[in-house]
Chains A and B, each alone.
Chain A
Amino acid sequence: MDIGLPKRVIEIEPASLPVPEPAPILEPSVEPLVDPDPQRTPAPTEPR
């Protein structure tokens, strides 16, 4: 790709950088669901 001969030098100091800020890392608002331990799950009782 030929962009030709240089014409001038420009020193650019933008007031704000044209780069997106990284997205914030959000803490989960609720605790993650945990699978119930099948061994601790009470066994269904027999109907009397």
Chain B
Amino acid sequence: MRTAPSPSRSLPIEREIEPILAWRSWTLTGRRDGGGLLLRPVTAGSRPWRPQEVTQATCRLAWSHEAPNPDCSCGLHATRELDTLRKTRCPAVLGRVALWGRVIEHEHGYRARFAYPQRLRLICQFCFWQESAASSRPDVVAWYARDLLVPMCVRHLGVAEENGMRPRRILPAGIVDLRLRETYAVDALAI
């Protein structure tokens, strides 16, 4: 490991050979039959994480710098602690991701140039927000317009339907969870 001054913001630079493992959440899209599953960043407009392909960070200011840049917010984000993700918008999938290439370490997480999920699990976002990841066990996956897939427990499916969020189709969560792991060729996330 080597330490040298960074050209930007004087951050120290270190060199390592092992990828960093961190936490990450995504939204999920797929066809009405549960096929064509695709992990998408919770930030609208960001590019999806394609199965069995390295995800590479890009920046809207790519003409001026490569992602991640210390003076920008670009890069593939992940967190050190799982609970930090409870503040994210509409998470459908939780996972452990490997980060490599240029990685900027922050106080509570990372921004990386390259990443790929290592373990994945569907979550009921409402249980995750209100309680924890461990208590977030979805029973079904609701299929909505624009191929949006929302895993939910039976209780929160009822709440969603009472509030006008009636899904167009309901799929068994176990089958979608297995198919997701097969699609990305990763193991189950045990929490």
Cross-chain contact A14 with B102 (CB below 8 angstroms): no
Interface residues on A, range: 20 to 34
A20 at the interface (CB under 8 A from B): yes
- Categorize the interface residue count of chain B: 35 or more
How far apart sit A5 and B99, CA to CA, in the bound complex (Å)?
Answer: 18
Interface positions, chain B 64-101, Cβ under 8 Å from A, are 70, 77, 79, 84-85, 87-88, 98-101
Main secondary structure on A side of the interface with B: loop
Contact indicator B11/A6 (Cβ below 8 Å): yes
Across the interface, which residues of B come within 8 angstroms of A20, CB to CB?
Answer: 52, 184-186
Per-position binary interface string of chain B over residues 91-120, scored 1 when its CB falls under 8 Å from any chain A CB and 0 otherwise: 000000011111111111111000010100
- Using A8-B11, A9-B6, A15-B17 as known contacts, say yes or no to A3 and B106 having CB atoms under 8 A apart: yes
Chain A: residues with CB nearer than 8 A to chain B? Answer: 1-15, 17-23
B residues neighboring A (CB under 8 Å)? 6, 9, 11-20, 52-54, 70, 77, 79, 84-85, 87-88, 98-111, 116, 118, 184-186
